[in-house]
């Protein structure tokens, strides 16, 4: 629950750590599910603000959880991300867009570019195992840009991603 998340976040922040919180879920299959994800984030952000836990705690969102794959998906996901980014700003914290499988990378980065016009502190996660990531890092290397690099967690084809753990580590 949001209350559980706030309690854990309070302990982490009390120990001098920062936190990013993700309401787990992706590949939303209907509008009601996407709406529920947004409501969960808005509730969480309100509770974090009330508990005085922002900015050391921020939220991470997956655009497919916001409706990316639904009819009018890219626009719906953007609108939902804007709602969350506005609530995060009001709470005194930021949003990071989590990266998903390679089929969503372009859409995620397009939503990021649009969000950053109004919410420049919006961060992005990039996955080191994708061949394109070095170029994406260069594209995002603006003053104040926040990028979190991870190895990657999806089973991606060799046509788009390194398969060897050593190559992923180097990347």
Catalytic residue (one of 98, 101, 116, 136) = 98
Of 74, 96, 72, 73, the residue nearest 84 (C-alpha): 96
Residues in the chain: 171
Distance between CA atoms of residues 157 and 161, nearest Å: 6
Distance between CA atoms of residues 9 and 150, nearest Å: 22
Asked if 30 and 71 count as a contact pair (C-beta separation under 8 A), the reply is no
Could you give phi then psi for residue 169, rounded to 5 degrees? -60, -45
86 is an active site residue = no
* Helix H or strand E segment including 81: helix 73-91
Catalytic residue (one of 86, 89, 146, 148) = 148
Q: Strand 147-150 vs strand 123-127: parallel, antiparallel, or unpaired?
A: parallel
Distance between CA atoms of residues 171 and 165, nearest Å: 10
148 is an active site residue = yes
Residues belonging to the active site: 98, 148
């Amino acid at each position: 629950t949001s209350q559980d998340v706030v309690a854990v976040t309070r302990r982490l922040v009390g120990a001098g750590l920062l936190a990013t919180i993700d309401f787990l879920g992706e590949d939303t299959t209907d509008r009601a599910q996407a709406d529920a994800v947004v409501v969960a984030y808005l509730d969480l952000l309100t509770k974090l603000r009330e508990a005085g836990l922002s900015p050391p705690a921020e939220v991470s969102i997956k655009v497919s959880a916001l409706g990316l794959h639904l009819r009018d998906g890219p626009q719906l996901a953007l609108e939902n991300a804007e709602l969350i980014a506005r609530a995060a700003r009001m709470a005194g914290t930021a949003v990071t867009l989590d990266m998903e499988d390679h089929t969503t990378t372009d859409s995620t980065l397009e939503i990021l570019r649009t969000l950053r016009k109004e919410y420049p502190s919006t961060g992005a996660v990039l996955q080191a195992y994708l061949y394109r990531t070095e170029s994406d890092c260069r594209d995002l290397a603006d003053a104040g840009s926040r990028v979190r690099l991870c190895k990657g967690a999806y089973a991606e084809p060799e046509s788009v991603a390194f398969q060897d753990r050593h190559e992923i580590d180097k990347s």
